Amino acid sequence: MRALAYVLIGVLGGMGMMSLSQKGGPSLTTMLAPVSYAMTSAEQASEKADEKPWTGADLLEMAQIYDQKADELQSEAVRLEQRAISLSEKPHMDPKGFTRTGWMLIASSRWKSAKELREMAAMHRSEGQRLLALEEKGEKGGVPTEDLDKEGNASQKHGT
């Protein structure tokens, strides 16, 4: 048995050494570098520069998605509460109440998650409406939207 282990370790070690010595295989420096695959700060900055800013329509769409997910969580919470109530009507099915309590805990966590999603949806909706109003005001007023500040006033970026 011990001889088999030695042979197996020798074969695996030999295969590893062969893969290191091959031209197409990984180089020793890339294998020893702990984070050679991570992006540099310049790469991260260029990736962020490529991202476009959120528009008001994007934020309104995200708010709608958050509302849909909140609706799903609320319906699941109602289903779990109904199961827990049906168990309380049949005490012989859950004599110590562990299952019923577990379902009620899960339902309460679903209610909490749904509430947080509703808050996020409200925030995204208000911000989306604000951005749409700024875009509309910018088109009417002749001031580009990127030159408007939070309140919709033209900023003094260009020294005018």
108-151 pLDDT tens trace: 999 999 999 999 999 999 999 999 998 888 776 654 555 555 55
User: Rounded to whole angstroms, how far apart are CA atoms 65 and 70?
Assistant: 9
Q: How confident is the model at residue 4 (pLDDT cuts 50, 70, 90)?
A: confident
Residue 84 and residue 110 in contact, taking contact as beta carbons nearer than 8 Å: no
Q: How many other C-beta atoms can be found within 10 angstroms of the C-beta atom of residue 65? A: 13
Percent of the chain with pLDDT over 70: 62
User: Rounded to whole angstroms, how far apart are CA atoms 29 and 33?
Assistant: 6
Reported as a single tens digit per residue, the pLDDT across 41-51 is 666 666 666 67
Q: Is residue 129 within a helix (H) or strand (E), and if so which, with residue range?
A: helix 98-141
User: Rounded to whole angstroms, how far apart are CA atoms 41 and 18?
Assistant: 35
User: Rounded to whole angstroms, how far apart are CA atoms 90 and 97?
Assistant: 11
Residue 60 and residue 133 in contact, taking contact as beta carbons nearer than 8 Å: no
User: Rounded to whole angstroms, how far apart are CA atoms 131 and 58?
Assistant: 10
Q: Tell me, what amino acid is at 141?
A: G
- Give the pLDDT confidence score for residue 1 in this predicted structure: 72
Mean pLDDT for all residues in the chain = 77
